[in-house]
Structure 1
Amino acid sequence: MKKLTLLVAFTMLLQLAFAGGLLTNYNQSAQYVRMLSRNAALEIDAVFYNPAGLVKMEDGWHFAFYSQTIFQNREVNTEFPLLNDGYYKGETTVPVFPDLYAVYKKDKWAFSLGLGPVGGGGTSTFDRGLPSFEIPISKAVPALAGLSQINPALGVTGYSADLAFDGSSTYWGIQVGATYAINEIFSVYGGVRVMPSTNAYKGSITNVMLEAGGQMNPAPAWLTGASATVSGIAGQASEGANIMYGTAATMQPVIDAGGGGFTLAQLEGAGYIDAATRAQVEGGLLYIGVPSEQIDMMNLSQVQGTYNAAGDELTTTVAILNGTAQTLEATSGAMEDREVDTKQKGLGFTPIIGINISPNDDWNIGLKYEHKTSLTLKNETKVDDLGLFPDGAEGSYDVPGIFTAGVGYRGIDKFELQLSYNIYFDKGVDYGYNVRYSSVGQQVHRDIDKNYFELGLGIQYNITDNFALSVGGLISENGVSPEYQSDFSYSNSSKTLAGGFMWKITDRLTFDFGVLNTFYIDDTVEFTDPDVGKYKEHYAKTTFDVAAGLSYSIF
């Protein structure tokens, strides 16, 4: 049986992105959570969404702090036929998801600072593990069922195991930059985001049990005992082979003397063998399954050939049994408790450029391009029973480039509209190989068919100068291929609805509050396993987000 291992599963990012592309969090302010469209923003959260528009703010200092509480459930339902239960649920709760912004605006210049988790930001916990953990264990049942042919008490009919996995991923973004107003219409931005990043993985496979003889038994000890039992049977078979070969050898002098063509009865009558010898030889033939009527007709050469053939068969059986015993012993080691506890840390840099176009007071257009982030993470490993994370080893975890565009319109009395478009250049990033295929010795690349995009519309209704309500809608469509999806890392296209309010407490202090709910489209992928053939796996997800925050200006 193959060694139980998570293979490259742990190295796959768990995609804890909550609103955005495959790896990117785009939910970076309470205004976004209540509108879902901020790419043409001219308020302080433009530090992230439209930094080239910051020169439209009043001269002075501007600060903002927002926090979100996020709940996400991930459901994997696999039809792999050998599992006890194919349903797995992972829960992610992020109590605090902070964003901090600061802007200093003076005449044609604006200098800005932003801090927030641009990727990840939470821990996903799977109390039952994932199919990639359990499938190798489930295969033990059919793989060991044949032991019942050796000894009925050794027949394996079921299994159980305690599986657990926690994966967290946080990519902080520290963004600094400068904005310059070329004239009243055009302004430009240049900046960089420093991205200190950490992935952490804790996983365990413990208490693996095998059901045999109607009882659940600790797998390592039971397999070791089964190995000893099979080895004992192999020893008995070896002794039997020696007896067969030895008995055949005693017949050779009689055959050499010309007695090979005579039956046992004729040899006894001629005095070549005595009655005891004849009875012993016939008893051996009966034991190995030769009918008595056939024995009466066999000559000595045929009897010798039958004994040698039986010895050969037992010798083959001995080899098979010894091989089985060795496999059981090796499997016993693979069924022992395993644990992984590691972190991966690194630092990346993202150059950012932007342009803002304000043809008049009613219209505003924001454009931004974030370059691809080259990111290398280094292992800091505490426990690695599976040999997956050599301490100090490095791996690539690049984040795709992003182009964003937004159009804002304020020409309708008391209404503000924003339309936003994002495209994530996922085809420019190598997402590695699919863990599900890797676990069965295949290499299938996690291909991207087309780049991920989002289209959002936000509407704000200004009830008074100090209070406004808003709603928003967002459509997201991923471009992943079926080969991309696995239980560890999958993406679902989605639709999101949002709402909230803005309360301008004073001329300097503003409070924003928003909620959103994302409705993901379930996805189904078909896998082919070399042992069981084709089966389907279903992926689902839900996200609910509550955000609030304050912004303050010093004019």
Structure 2
Amino acid sequence: MKKLTLLVAFSMLLQLAFAGGLLTNYNQSAQYIRMLSRNAALEIDAVFYNPAGLVKMEDGWYFAFYSQTIFQTRDIDTQFPTLNSGHYEGETTIPVFPDVYAVYKKNNWAFSLGIGPVGGGGTAEFPSGIPTLEVPFSLIPGQLAALGQVDPALAVNSYDLEMALEASSTFWGIQVGASYAPHDKFSFYGGLRIVPSTNKYEGAIRNIQLNGVNAAAWLNGASTQVSTMAANLNALANVPEALAPILPVAGNYTLAQLVGAGQMDAVQQGQIEAGLQLMGLSPEQISAMNLNQINGAYVQAAPAFASTAQTLSGTAQTLTGTASQLGDKEVKTKQKGMGFTPIIGFNISPTDDWTFAVKYEFETKLTLENETDVDDMGLFPDGAESSNDIPAILAGGVGYRGLGWLEAQLSFNMYFDRDVNYGNNIRYSTLGQKVHRDIKGNYTELALGLQFNVADNFAFSVGGLRSKNGVTPQYQSDFSYSNSSHTLGGGIMWNITDKLTFDAGVSNTFYQDDTVTFTHPGIGSYDETYAKTTISLSAGISYSIF
């Protein structure tokens, strides 16, 4: 069995983007959850979505706090034939997913601050593990099938284990910038997002069993039995050497006669008879054979006995080595780092009814360093560094407010995933194969949001979002996968006073299942299907000081 340090890349579990590309959280306000399209926003959440448009606000101070509660499930169904169960479930629950915004607007300038989790923000739990980590254990019974031929009592019929994985991630975005309007119809933005990032991984594999008992103990016991068999066969291979001194004087004696004459004891007789039975001779044939005939049979069989003994000795060593790998394993580590994202934006409002906006976030170069407490699997050497770059984003939006009772926004996002190296596919790496996680196209989103102003101080909204990834089958694995999706959202806006506004929304993302075919040596091709669901609830308030 391959070394268990193949249990690698817990970090892939941390691609927890909830509304956005492969790595980015684009769900950064309650208004977004209720409309799903905010790239032409002119309210306070424009700090994130359309920062160049902040100069369209009235002069004064603006503050907002929003929080989301997010529920995400991941379902993995595999047809790998040796697993006890082909169904695995993962859950992520985020009680608090906060965003804080502040804006100071004066004349043709606006200065803004935004804080929120631009990546991760939650904990992914897989209480039963994932297929890639269990597959090596599921293969053990088949790999030890030959033991049943050595001794039926050594046949391995089942395996079991307890496995749990937990990975949490928070990439905070602390964004500061300034917006300037050289003309009342267009404006510019320049800003910088600081991204302090932390990943935490905890995982354990415990109580590995074979045939319902501790695997290490069972394998060590089997090793002892096989070693004893090897020793017995070596002794049988050496029978001609042991018989050589008495052959000249007792060659015509049977085994019973030799025991009666004191030339051999009953134990030696039994061992020699057992060897002859292994050669296929019956008790009647053995009792009639003299020592010369017995010696001739052993001379002929000795090479086979010696060869089998050598094979069994190697098997015993393999069993002992495998047993040493099947003890409890634990990983507990933290990764920390910081990246920087330059951001630029442009907003044009040719009339009060129309808004056109564009924003570009540059690629975030991010290196994380391990701070490891326990690493029984050799996955996270303390002090080692790894790359976790976040792709650039181009966001554009069109807003229309000309009807008074209806506001509409159309948004488009492109995440430049093709410019980021996502490394190799872990599923293939566990097989010693190098398969790069290819991206054939950039992740894109198209959204339409409608707000219906049914009263001077109250509105409700609906929105729809289509997300399409550009990954290839080589990208997908149970460690990390991406599904194209449709999202529906809705909610309300209530102006409690002229200065205090309450927003609330709910969205549900419907992901398309993705089935990928893998090939495993000795097993052949099999399918694995990946599914997700995400529900987001959001509420928050904004307050203005004019």
Length-normalised TM-score, structure 1: 0.91
Give the match for residue 219 of structure 1: 215
Equivalent residues, number: 532
Matched, 1:535 2:513: no
1:440 aligns with 431
Q: CA deviation at 1:148?
A: 1.3
CA change 1:51–1:248 in 2 (3 A) is farther
SS in 2 for 1:43: coil
Give how far 1:293 is off. Answer: 12
Amino acid at match of 2:130: L
Change over 3 Å in CA distance of 1:152–1:356 after alignment to 2: same
Q: How does 1:2-41 map onto structure 2 within 5 Å?
A: 2-41=2-41
Q: Structure 1 residues 434, 243: closer, same or farther in 2, change over 3 A?
A: same
**1:169-248 equivalence runs, <5 A:** 169-211=169-211, 216-247=212-243
Listed as ranges, the gaps of 5+ residues in structure 1 are 255-270
Deviations 1:40-81 (A, max 9, x none): 000000000000100001111110000000011111111110
What does residue 130 of structure 1 align with?
130
Residue 245 to residue 400, structure 1, CA distance change in 2 (3 Å): farther
Match of 1:518 in 2: 509
Q: Report the AA paired with residue 62 of structure 2.
A: H
Is the CA contact 1:6–1:132 (under 8 Å) kept in the aligned structure 2?
no
Partner of 1:308: 299
2:262 maps to what in 1?
none
Match of 1:459 in 2: 450
Partner of 1:492: 483
Change in 2 beyond 3 A, CA 1:272/1:239:
closer
What is the CA–CA distance in structure 2 between the aligned matches of 1:80 and 1:380, rounded to whole Å?
35
AA partner of residue 42 (structure 1): L
> Is this contact kept in 1: 2:494–2:501, CA < 8 A?
yes
Q: Which of these residues, 244, 252, 265, is aligned with residue 274 of structure 1?
A: 252
Question: In structure 2, do the counterparts of structure 1 residues 31 and 361 end up closer, same or farther at CA, with 3 Å as the change threshold?
Answer: same
Corresponding letter in the other structure for 2:418:
K
Q: How does 1:5-404 map to 2 (within 5 A)?
A: 5-211=5-211, 216-247=212-243, 273-276=251-254, 288-289=279-280, 307-404=298-395
Q: 3-state SS of the aligned residue for 2:9?
A: helix
* CA shift in 2, pair 1:249/1:425, >3 Å: farther
Cα distance between partner residues in 1 of 2:324 and 2:396: 56
Asked if structure 1 preserves the Cα contact closer than 8 Å seen for 2:252 and 2:292, the reply is no
Q: Deviations over 1:349-395 (max 9, x none)?
A: 00000000111111101100000000000001111000111111100
Q: Which amino acid is 1:24 matched to?
A: T
Alignment match, 1:266: none
Cα distance 1:74–1:273, how it changes in 2: closer, same or farther (>3 A)?
Answer: closer
Q: 1:292 to 1:98 in 2, by over 3 A?
A: closer
Q: Post-superposition shift, 1:436? A: 0.8
Q: Which amino acid aligns with 2:60?
A: G
Q: Give SS of 2:301's match.
A: helix
Q: Residue type matched to 1:52 in 2?
A: A
Any idea what SS the aligned residue of 1:224 has? helix
Residues 119-160 of structure 1 show CA distances to partners (whole Å, capped at 9, x for unaligned) of 011001111111122111111111122211122111110011
> Quick check: 2:35–2:462 contact (8 Å CA) kept in 1?
yes
Q: CA deviation at 1:244?
A: 3.9
Distance, in Å, in 1 between the alignment partners of 2:300 and 2:412 is 79
SS in 2 for 1:197: strand
Paired residues of 2:449 and 2:463 also in contact (CA < 8 A) = yes
Tell me which amino acid in the other structure corresponds to 1:101. Answer: Y
Q: Is the 8 A contact 1:165 1:204 kept in 2?
A: yes
Which residue of structure 1 lines up, in the alignment, with residue 265 of structure 2? none
Deviations 1:200-257 (A, max 9, x none): 111110011111xxxx111111111111111111111111111145557987xx8xxx
By how many angstroms is 1:4 displaced? 2.4
**Secondary structure of 1:411 counterpart:** coil
Structure 2 counterpart of 1:501, one-letter code: I
- Partners in 2 of 1:244 and 1:422 — Cα distance? 83
- Name the CA distance, whole Å, in 1 between partners of 2:245 and 2:529: 65
State the secondary structure of the residue aligned to 1:205: strand
Q: Between 409-418 and 341-350, report the one with greater CA deviation.
A: 409-418
Which segment is superposed worse, 127-136 or 1-10? 1-10
Distance of aligned partners of 1:495 and 1:183 in 2 relative to their CA distance in 1, 3 Å threshold:
same
Work out the CA distance in 2 between the residues paired with 1:305 and 1:194. 85
Opposite residue 549 of structure 1, the aligned amino acid is: G
On the 8 A contact 1:248/1:307 being kept in 2, the answer is no
Q: Distance in 1 between matches of 2:430 and 2:255?
A: 59
Most deviating of 70-79 and 279-288: 279-288
One-letter identity of the residue aligned with 1:36:
L
For 2:245 and 2:85, locate their aligned partners in 1 and report how far apart those are by CA, in whole Å: 58
Residues 329 and 107 from structure 1, CA distance in 2 versus in 1: closer, same or farther, beyond 3 angstroms?
same
Distance in 1, Cα, partners of 2:136 & 2:306? 32
Matched, 1:548 2:539: yes
User: Structure 1 vs Structure 2: percent identity of aligned residues?
Assistant: 63
**Local SS of the residue matching 1:34:** helix
Q: Residues 176-199 of structure 1: CA distance to partner in whole angstroms, max 9, x if unpaired? A: 001000201210000010000111
**Given that residues 516 and 544 in structure 1 are in contact (C-alpha distance below 8 angstroms), is that contact kept between their aligned partners in structure 2?**
yes
> In 1, Cα distance between the equivalents of 2:246 and 2:397?
98
CA distance in 2, matches of 1:547, 1:226: 58
Q: CA deviation at 1:308?
A: 3.3
**TM-score, normalization by structure 2:** 0.93
Q: What letter corresponds to residue 219 of structure 1 in structure 2?
A: A
- Residues 1:244 and 1:82: Cα distance change in structure 2 (over 3 Å): farther
Partners of 1:4 and 1:137 within 8 A in 2: no
Structure 2 unaligned blocks of 5 or more:
259-268
Moved more, 389-398 or 238-247: 238-247
Offset, 1:343? 0.7
Runs of 4 or more above 6 Å deviation: 248-251, 277-284, 291-295, 300-305
1:399-441 Cα offsets, whole Å, 9 max, x none, are: 0000000000112241110000000000000101111111111
